[in-house]
Amino acid sequence: MLRRTVPRAFSSATSSLRGLPLDGTTINENVKSAKYAVRGNVLERSMELQRRMAAGEKLPFDTIVPCNIGNPHACLQSPLSFHREVLSLCISPTLASDHPHVFKKDVVERAKAYTAGLGGGVGAYTNSQGIPAVREEIAAFIAERDGHPARADHIYLTNGASEGVRILLTCLLRSGGLHDGLLTPIPQYPLYSASLTLLGGTLVPYLLSEGGNWGVEMDNLRESLATARAKGVEVRGIAVINPGNPTGNILAEEQIKDIIEMAVEEKLVVIADEVYQSNIWKKDASFSSFKKVACDMGYTGAEGDERLQLVSFHSTSKGYYGECGLRGGYMEVHGIGAEVRAELYKLSSLSLCSNTIGQLATGIMINPPKKGDPSYETFTKERDDILSSLERRSIMVHTALNDLEGVTCNRADGALYAFPRIRLSDKAKKAAEAKGVPADEFYCLEILDQSGIVLVPGSGFGQEDGTLHFRTTFLPAEATMHETLKNLARAHEKFMDEHRD
């Protein structure tokens, strides 16, 4: 081995880091600045309370009720039988041949079809973009849903929708001080704000109209865009969450049209987060995808037609399915050219592929048993039970919230959340200031301490200056919902009484 003399002291001396190789002073500042309140301080505090209860401490409640996150199975929602059995068979294909009477015929057939298309079973890396057969299934689902064609090679399977958002924003937001920005609704699911911070992009907020049932106001939107551009921000796209998180708003086709028109005029990529498309509670309302409306308007996205650039997201985590843990999801690109599609493929390749079980779960989600199939009846009963219970709970929660002193709450037309406005006294605000926390977080922490209910402060989603909110899911099991709402009312009343001006 050749030994060369290298001046050690010299090389050390030229490092300008003052801290440790990796500590709070030397870590990437964008990481430190990113905020994700859904798993923030209130959740931290709930985990501490959980530990104290486990250690035998008496608290004013018996159980922690996690209303901070849309995690249905953690709130005892049951998985769908057909879906789970197919996945079990894909993992252990010999179960069906060794024990022929255990599984229904359509379960065995579906698992066989998937396994045949996998070439190496669930243990092999798939095409980086996802299993071709599942992408074909998704394309057929989209085509039927929208009445317009969809292409398997425009679909990318991802670990949940959030990975797709990360990959897309990584392509969209340029580094090197270019001040790229994204129009983002306020309030918004904080994946968007956190990702923007992380990638060095600028959040360009457009306020949803609380008085207009959290709808989008086009003048507002255009003004936000103009203001940001005047400040030198290169606005690259617009994020829309429909049905809304945390708002529950469902966009009407007319509103979607207006947004698409503006995106075409202003050269913005539309990022359509449609993960709640099966959670529609408003009577006579239905979900219209951005893709459908775009195609209706003539923006077909055919090769070469890039007038409208649209990327839509879906996930196994929501709907009536609620399979959060399996991390299934996809994005569909529309009006995005071959060069960019190849770059999206390369980024997917870097993590090789999304997990195969999540990919298959996505396939089963959008292609459930059909009328006449042996599993059809069980499936429809399971699905309808979940959806009708969610609808009832949505009404229970909204009614109860509007009964609270100083609280008003729009009806949730869709999705899994309520986002009520709370009016706190000056005394409460001063108490929060004294503790060094935002007033809405102070409120949520006090409610947690009294009731065990985990809420998320509105500041985590963004809210109009001078207003305060929180987000709650309506996922606690129906049998316990009355009790939960009573506990919330009691804790709220106590808070209000203790902080009267």
Of residues 101-160, which lie at the interface with a second copy (CB under 8 A)? 102, 118-126, 128, 159-160
Residues 300 and 304: their CA atoms lie apart, in Å, by 10
Site for a second copy (CB under 8 A): which residue of 42, 65, 87, 401?
A: 87
C-alpha distances out from residue 303 to 265, 286, 308, Å: 20, 30, 12
For a second copy, which stretch binds (CB under 8 A), given 80-88, 365-373, 444-452, 485-493? Answer: 80-88
CB 308 within 8 A of CB 294: yes
For a second copy, which stretch binds (CB under 8 A), given 23-31, 54-62, 364-372, 391-399? Answer: 23-31
Site for a second copy (CB under 8 A): which residue of 157, 183, 196, 235?
A: 235
CB 308 within 8 A of CB 272: no
SS3 of 256-289: HHHHHHHHHHHCCEEEEECCCCCCECCCCCCCCC
Q: Which is it for strands 202-207 and 180-186: parallel, antiparallel or unpaired?
A: parallel
Whole-number minimum distance, CB 406 to a second copy, in Å? 26
Q: Which is it for strands 310-315 and 329-334: parallel, antiparallel or unpaired?
A: antiparallel
Residues 420 and 359: their CA atoms lie apart, in Å, by 35
* Binders in 313-342 for a second copy, by CB under 8 A: 317, 322-327, 336-337, 339-340
Q: Closer CB to a second copy, residue 223 or residue 403?
A: 223
Q: Closer CB to a second copy, residue 76 or residue 143?
A: 76
Q: Closer CB to a second copy, residue 35 or residue 423?
A: 35
Q: Closer CB to a second copy, residue 189 or residue 495?
A: 189
Specify the 3-state DSSP secondary structure of 19. coil
Residues 320 and 388: their CA atoms lie apart, in Å, by 10
Q: Closer CB to a second copy, residue 87 or residue 239?
A: 87
* Binders in 263-282 for a second copy, by CB under 8 A: 265-269
* Binders in 49-78 for a second copy, by CB under 8 A: 69, 71-77
Whole-number minimum distance, CB 471 to a second copy, in Å? 16
For a second copy, which stretch binds (CB under 8 A), given 92-100, 149-157, 374-382, 490-498? Answer: 92-100
CB 484 within 8 A of CB 457: no
Q: Which residues, in sequence order, are CB contacts of 381 under 8 Å at separation 6+?
A: none
Determine, following the binding rule CB under 8 A, whether residue 12 of this chain makes contact with a second copy: yes
Q: Which residues, in sequence order, are CB contacts of 219 under 8 Å at separation 6+?
A: none
Q: Which is it for strands 180-186 and 234-241: parallel, antiparallel or unpaired?
A: parallel
Q: Identify the CA nearest to 281 among candidates 427, 178, 415.
A: 415
Whole-number minimum distance, CB 228 to a second copy, in Å? 9
The tokens 């798993």 sit on which residue?
A: 39
Determine, following the binding rule CB under 8 A, whether residue 99 of this chain makes contact with a second copy: yes
Whole-number minimum distance, CB 106 to a second copy, in Å? 15
Whole-number minimum distance, CB 499 to a second copy, in Å? 31
Q: How far is CA 273 from the centre of its chain?
A: 8
Q: Closer CB to a second copy, residue 92 or residue 399?
A: 92
* Binders in 347-386 for a second copy, by CB under 8 A: 347, 349-358
Q: Closer CB to a second copy, residue 147 or residue 212?
A: 212
Q: Closer CB to a second copy, residue 131 or residue 431?
A: 131
* Binders in 162-221 for a second copy, by CB under 8 A: 162-163, 166, 170-177, 191, 194-195, 198, 200, 209, 212, 217, 219
Number of residues that bind a second copy (CB under 8 A): 123
Whole-number minimum distance, CB 359 to a second copy, in Å? 9
For a second copy, which stretch binds (CB under 8 A), given 346-354, 367-375, 386-394, 401-409? Answer: 346-354
* Binders in 462-501 for a second copy, by CB under 8 A: none
Specify the 3-state DSSP secondary structure of 488. helix
Whole-number minimum distance, CB 370 to a second copy, in Å? 22
Whole-number minimum distance, CB 451 to a second copy, in Å? 20
Q: Which residues, in sequence order, are CB contacts of 167 under 8 Å at separation 6+?
A: 156, 158, 331, 344, 347, 348
Q: Closer CB to a second copy, residue 457 or residue 496?
A: 457
CB 96 within 8 A of CB 364: no
Residues 199 and 468: their CA atoms lie apart, in Å, by 28
Whole-number minimum distance, CB 186 to a second copy, in Å? 17
Q: Identify the CA nearest to 391 among candidates 275, 251, 248, 274.
A: 248
Residues 300 and 264: their CA atoms lie apart, in Å, by 13
